[in-house]
Structure 1
């Protein structure tokens, strides 16, 4: 069987739909594992707070648990710089295999950690260390995985392939919220507190062998991709790096508030029962999983990334305050569910095409490093702290609409930044 040459020798030898599908799965499975762990942590934040961060005030206990969630993001920039450069220098496969292994170890540590009543202060210390390990791994995960998705296949499908990086977050949230809802329905409160909350973390570890196997069997990059020139610090690239940080800023805040904080918010401030609050996140996760690939595909058809990105973010800014106002004045499951899904429509429109736009702005030999570090910094500073910040804002101001105002401010900055990036749809990669 003969094959026609496609382009130059720099094109990876991946041409069949089946092999491209395997690349997509292998690239996003680590992201799915990481966001699955994060989703589960958010949904069981109140339980983890009781077991590992006991305090006289339940709100303070929750804030401490969310602080442990946020502290994992401290290690992300380090992981982004170290593992992102490693992926550029030694190849995507080596970096992707390492990151999924480290994330699974962190998940196992959380799932097996004894509570505060058993080992005292060592219990929250274990949780914090596990979150730092996962944060370091995820810092390098995004850049290597997104670069792999972008560089695999033809230029016509880059937006669709890259959108699966965000869609995998929806899949993880759906898996996590579905499992949390199932456990809440099937187990008593005592069973959940005793052992039920550990089940998702330990099941998450089972993804690791599958992910390692798939990533070790990715077709190896050609020498030009696997042996990069090394880090390149140029004024133009540094400018794009800062724009990427702020382009991610608003959407990562929206991610962690709309998809992960809303169940806790619905319980504490809207009065929804825990079992129903999980359904809201299931709706948000389904929206992300189904809509992201559609927006990515549409950006390929248009051969433009920025129009959808700008329209989506602009609509999100316009709808956030009215949506939260309606939730607070009509706190029922149909209202909250419908409004979150509506917000997710424009969130995904403003985000999915940008997952191709941002990496396309960097040349191949430094793409993973620049993208990983920019993403890690943005998610660490803004995304990882989002739940903690909005919870603190509500407590400090007494205003339950504070999450909307915080997201609006962040998305406005993000909208300005993304509008300043170069349009890259339809172009050949550098």
Structure 2
């Protein structure tokens, strides 16, 4: 885009206007040629880069969760298996503490150096963290240094992931016509399900192919080495696909036009702070459910339902597949309805009512069929209540503040509640002696999230600001 065209597009805009969406709006698609078709193709490439990048980055978080018990044996004292597991889960949670910092620091870096530079850095850091975990010797070899090195690697991964979410979600929302915003934004959550599916599939394959001794000695490390593929694959995608986003001065997400709008954007808007807190509590219900249903269920099924590890992993695979397949459907339905909040309310409301009977049935009849069936039913309503929320939240923020506010709110909620969900669920079950504790915890978090959703403005039928 030439400087003259950029000025024509941006100069007349109001103080807090978004980048002109007309190059990708439905009303300007008549010819199917020229700048319109080029912008549409560019939009598709950007969506692809954002989705695949997010999928690859969540893989490392997923694989750590699935090998929690193995990691506990390798990196922590073996005197008390339950305590070792809690310590391993705590290290998993530590990685989330760096997310808010990553959201702020990498967000600032993205403003200064461009989105592509920041997103490329996140891919690189995640790959380094995965490689470090895979190469770290066990507690028996280097003692306390082993868990310390794993903690550092988890912090690096968390920092990188914190810088990924805001820009990727904003890109998915903004790159394309109004009528498919919910569908596009839903791929942020769908890609998390796909990464969990990939991670659980690899974990299950290694568990089935290797003996317990081989898995403990070296097999689990293979999964983390696979995670190092994030670096070359991610760098390639974001070098060749994301040319349109931050610093080229062309395309739907030009850094130059973003900068001009930011200069004229309101510096203080108290409503943004309110919306930030609403986003935190909206994410609360979804992130706790995600990390319990997808990541904690295999451990729960093994420890409390008496299912073999090889079978318990199938429950997580089922949950991941449901998330991957159902989220785009609910996102598309919210577009057709031009409403986000009804689906969120119904999905999360029904899930609250189902959690107790579902966990009760799994405990009184702990078979693979019952567990898989209950997981499917719960995930059906979870995805209904969560996929449209990934459009509702960013739609409530103006363009000039969308990535920063959304990214920091999401990172804060996931750090406080998502990363600790497994630890809290395991701790509540152990302290109370009540195997229904995870259900009660999710019900409380989902209830709070519904209040926040109710306070958000409905945006499915509105243009982006």
Shift of 1:86: 3.5
Query: Is 1:166 equivalent to 2:189 in the alignment?
Result: yes
Shift of 1:15: 4.5
CA contact (8 A) 1:28 1:168 kept: yes
Give unmatched runs, 5+ long, in structure 1: none
Query: Is 1:358 equivalent to 2:401 in the alignment?
Result: no
User: What is the match of residue 224 of structure 2?
Assistant: 201
CA–CA distance in structure 1, aligned partners of residues 277 and 366 of structure 2: 39
CA–CA distance in structure 1, aligned partners of residues 36 and 139 of structure 2: 50
Kindly tell me: are residues 363 and 184 of structure 1, through their superposed partners in 2, closer, same or farther at Cα, counting changes over 3 Å?
A: same
User: What is the match of residue 337 of structure 2?
Assistant: 302
Query: Is 1:45 equivalent to 2:34 in the alignment?
Result: no
CA contact (8 A) 2:126 2:230 kept: no
CA contact (8 A) 1:312 1:350 kept: yes
CA contact (8 A) 2:57 2:230 kept: no
Task: Pick the aligned partner of 1:112 from 115, 135, 139.
Answer: 135
**Greater CA radius of gyration, 1 or 2?**
2
User: What is the match of residue 437 of structure 2?
Assistant: 402
Query: Is 1:80 equivalent to 2:103 in the alignment?
Result: yes
User: What is the match of residue 224 of structure 1?
Assistant: 257
Deviations 1:152-185 (A, max 9, x none): 1111111111100000011011111111111111
> Which range moved further: 318-327 or 88-97?
88-97
Query: Is 1:258 equivalent to 2:293 in the alignment?
Result: yes
Instruction: With the length of structure 1 as denominator, give the TM-score of the two structures.
Output: 0.95
Shift of 1:90: 4.6
Deviations 1:374-428 (A, max 9, x none): 0010000000000000100111010011000000000100111011111111322
CA contact (8 A) 1:14 1:20 kept: no
Deviations 1:351-389 (A, max 9, x none): 101101101111111111101100010000000000000
CA–CA distance in structure 1, aligned partners of residues 151 and 258 of structure 2: 36
Kindly tell me: are residues 14 and 54 of structure 1, through their superposed partners in 2, closer, same or farther at Cα, counting changes over 3 Å?
A: farther
Kindly tell me: are residues 424 and 89 of structure 1, through their superposed partners in 2, closer, same or farther at Cα, counting changes over 3 Å?
A: farther
Instruction: With the length of structure 2 as denominator, give the TM-score of the two structures.
Output: 0.88
Deviations 1:118-167 (A, max 9, x none): 11111101110011011111111100110111111111111111100000
CA contact (8 A) 1:164 1:293 kept: yes
Query: Is 1:423 equivalent to 2:458 in the alignment?
Result: yes
CA contact (8 A) 2:131 2:225 kept: yes
User: What is the match of residue 270 of structure 2?
Assistant: 235
Shift of 1:18: 4.7
Aligned pairs, how many? Answer: 425
Give unmatched runs, 5+ long, in structure 2: 11-18, 24-34, 246-252
Deviations 1:213-259 (A, max 9, x none): 22223213322225634894421000000000000001100000000
